Structure 1
Amino acid sequence: MRTLGLIGGMSAESTTVYYQTLTRLVRERLGGLHSAQLVLWSVDFAPIAELQAKDDWDATGREMADAARRLEAAGAQAILICANTMHLNAPQVEAAVGAPLIHIADATAQALKARGVTNALLLATRFTMEKRFYRERLEAAGLGVLTPEKADRDRLHAIIYDELVLGVISEASRAEVLAMIEKGRAAGADGIIFGCTEIGLLLDPAEMPLSTVDTAIAHCEAAVEFALS
């Protein structure tokens, strides 16, 4: 089994999902007492979030590259950034280490195509929805990408940063996001991307009105495939 290196803490809530999911998937594949072989570098998210808010992606890139180097030095044979937004710094991470980066958008595109989705509603942080780094990766795979209107993008961003990353689950917020999904379906979406690793804490993909990919789960599935191949 190959060793996976996780850059986590963004947020700690979703990093917990990564650890549990990776362990479960390996156990399902190998049986018995098997679990994933991992090293984790968990960052302090507060300084990262401040840099995000300032649009200082050069600084966040240095933080991500440093974390990747630490993981490779600890034996990681592949790197996972356990957050969608921080894949904006994927090029800096790839340049910093020899180990491959398992890109969350590639895993997401593969999962969407396997479900027959062609035009997906992207629900994520404002950075992921509005910047090109993520959607262009999906579009390169032949997928159409829709995002909510600006007021809904701002509200979803607030739900993520003010509630979900703190472990706060609100029924009112759940209803708001479901309303965004209905608007997306009316606009032509035939699938949904939980494009922030915390959204799966708020909504269950199995209960959505359209085929849905939880990016954290898809990312873990791709990582386990690498680890066991």
Structure 2
Amino acid sequence: MKKIGMLGGMSWESTAQYYELINRELNRRLGCLHSARIVLNSVDFHDIELLQKAAEWGELADILSEDALSLELAGADFIVICTNTMHKVEPDIAAAVTIPVLHIADATGQVLKTDNIRRVGLLGTAFTMEQDFYKSRLATKFGIDVVIPNAEDRSLIHNVIYDELCKGVINDKSRQGYLKVIDRLHAEGCEGVILGCTEIPLLVNQSHTDIVLYDTTKIHALAAVALALAKE
């Protein structure tokens, strides 16, 4: 079994979900008292969020690259960045280490391709929805047309993530707002919707809608288990 390096804390709420999902899935596959071999480096999200707001992506890349290197030095065989947004600096992180980085958009894109999804909605932070690092990867590598909500809806999605979900606040009014955004994306021809922020599944899941949702936290965690158990 390979050792998984988790670069987490962005936020700790979703990192806790990663830890549980990875261990539950690995135990489901292996049985007995098996659990995952994990080394975790969890950042102080307060500092990360301030740098995000200031668009200090270079400094963020330096911080997370150093933390990723510490995972490699601790014996990790590959790295999982436990957030969608900070995959913006994944190329820098990957360049700083000699072990693989399991990209969340690649894991998600593979599931979308398997499901023959050609047009998909994307919910996430404003950085993930509005910048190109995530959408273009899905388009270029998997041929998927990615649709984002309108400006008002993007503001709602982003603010709920930072003001509520990252603080562990689950608000039914916010859930209803998210579901309306999902309905509008479906009305625009989206065959499914990516929950492209690792906190969103804390608020919205498949039980809340008939529209197909792609939970990137779960997808990424299961891909980590598959890689950890893959034969050399």
What range describes the TM-score normalised by the shorter chain of this pair? Answer: over 0.9
Structure 1, gaps ≥5 residues long: none
The alignment status of 1:212 with 2:209, answered yes or no, reads: no
> Residue 48 of structure 2 aligns to which amino acid in structure 1?
I
Query: Separation in 2 of the partners of 1:207 and 1:176?
Result: 12
Query: Separation in 1 of the partners of 2:40 and 2:122?
Result: 28
Query: Separation in 2 of the partners of 1:130 and 1:204?
Result: 23
Aligned positions of 1:13-24 closer than 5 A? 13-24=13-24
Q: How many residues align?
A: 229
Query: Separation in 1 of the partners of 2:207 and 2:225?
Result: 22
Query: Separation in 2 of the partners of 1:225 and 1:181?
Result: 30
Shift of 1:117: 1.6
Residues 79 and 102, structure 1, Cα contact 8 Å, conserved in 2: yes
The corresponding residue for 2:50 is: 50
Identity of aligned residues (%): 45
Query: Separation in 2 of the partners of 1:86 and 1:189?
Result: 25
The corresponding residue for 1:39 is: 39
The C-alpha deviation readout for 1:16-62, integer Å capped at 9, x for no partner, is 00000000110011111001110000000001000000111001101
Shift of 1:206: 4.1
Residues 205 and 213, structure 2, Cα contact 8 Å, conserved in 1: no
Residues 7 and 79, structure 2, Cα contact 8 Å, conserved in 1: yes
- SS of the aligned residue for 1:62 comes to helix
> Residue 175 of structure 1 aligns to which amino acid in structure 2?
Q
Q: Taking structure 2 as the reference length, what is the TM-score of the superposition?
A: 0.97
The corresponding residue for 1:139 is: 139
Query: Separation in 2 of the partners of 1:143 and 1:205?
Result: 21
Could you say what the CA RMSD is over the residues aligned between the two structures, in angstroms?
0.8
Q: Taking structure 1 as the reference length, what is the TM-score of the superposition?
A: 0.98
The corresponding residue for 1:199 is: 200
Structure 2, gaps ≥5 residues long: none
Shift of 1:223: 0.8
> Residue 30 of structure 1 aligns to which amino acid in structure 2?
L
The corresponding residue for 1:96 is: 96
Query: Separation in 2 of the partners of 1:20 and 1:115?
Result: 25
Query: Separation in 2 of the partners of 1:12 and 1:30?
Result: 27
Residues 4 and 39, structure 1, Cα contact 8 Å, conserved in 2: yes
Shift of 1:118: 1.3
The C-alpha deviation readout for 1:54-102, integer Å capped at 9, x for no partner, is 1110011011101100000000000110000000010111110000000
Query: Separation in 1 of the partners of 2:64 and 2:209?
Result: 33
Residues 118 and 191, structure 1, Cα contact 8 Å, conserved in 2: no
> Residue 157 of structure 2 aligns to which amino acid in structure 1?
L
- SS of the aligned residue for 1:189 comes to coil
Query: Separation in 1 of the partners of 2:88 and 2:97?
Result: 16
The corresponding residue for 2:167 is: 166
- SS of the aligned residue for 1:217 comes to helix
The alignment status of 1:105 with 2:105, answered yes or no, reads: yes
